[in-house]
Amino acid sequence: MLRRNYAKGDRLLLKHKNNVIIALSKLIDALYKNAIMINWSVTVSEETNEALHRFLAEHGDSDISDFIEKAVQEKIFRSTIQEVHDRNTAFPSEEIESVIDEAVSATRAAHRS
């Protein structure tokens, strides 16, 4: 049986004994909302550089920093989702969905008041 522990904000921690099974939180970009910006020096192949510039031009964008930041956030988000999925394979999906629904309802109720 999963024990439900609600933390501050939109984060829900479900614990089975002392192991964290799943952590749900706002999308990763919320973590970067008030972040201090850091300069990176990135080296890519000429082919990648040209492809990126073509892609950005085709989509009416020219901000390489924004593109890289969003790509990194998406990669981290997808990796986190996969890790959570892998950790939860031992639990019935109905139980996980029930706990998620409960957490979403609790979060919505907290934000409405």
Q: What are the pLDDT digits (tens) for 57-84?
A: 999 988 999 899 899 999 999 999 899 8
Task: Give the DSSP H or E segment for 20.
Answer: strand 19-24
pLDDT at residue 59, as a whole number = 93
Cα end-to-end span (Å), the chain: 30
What pLDDT is stored for residue 67 in this prediction? 93
- pLDDT for 20 equals 38
- Collapsing DSSP to helix, strand or coil, 14 comes out as strand
Looking at residue 17, its pLDDT comes to 36
Block residue for tokens 């614990």: 15
Extract the tokens encoding 17: 């004994």
Report the DSSP beta bridge partners of residue 23.
13
Query: Residue 16's pLDDT band (boundaries 50, 70, 90)?
Result: very low
Rounded to two decimals, the pTM is 0.55
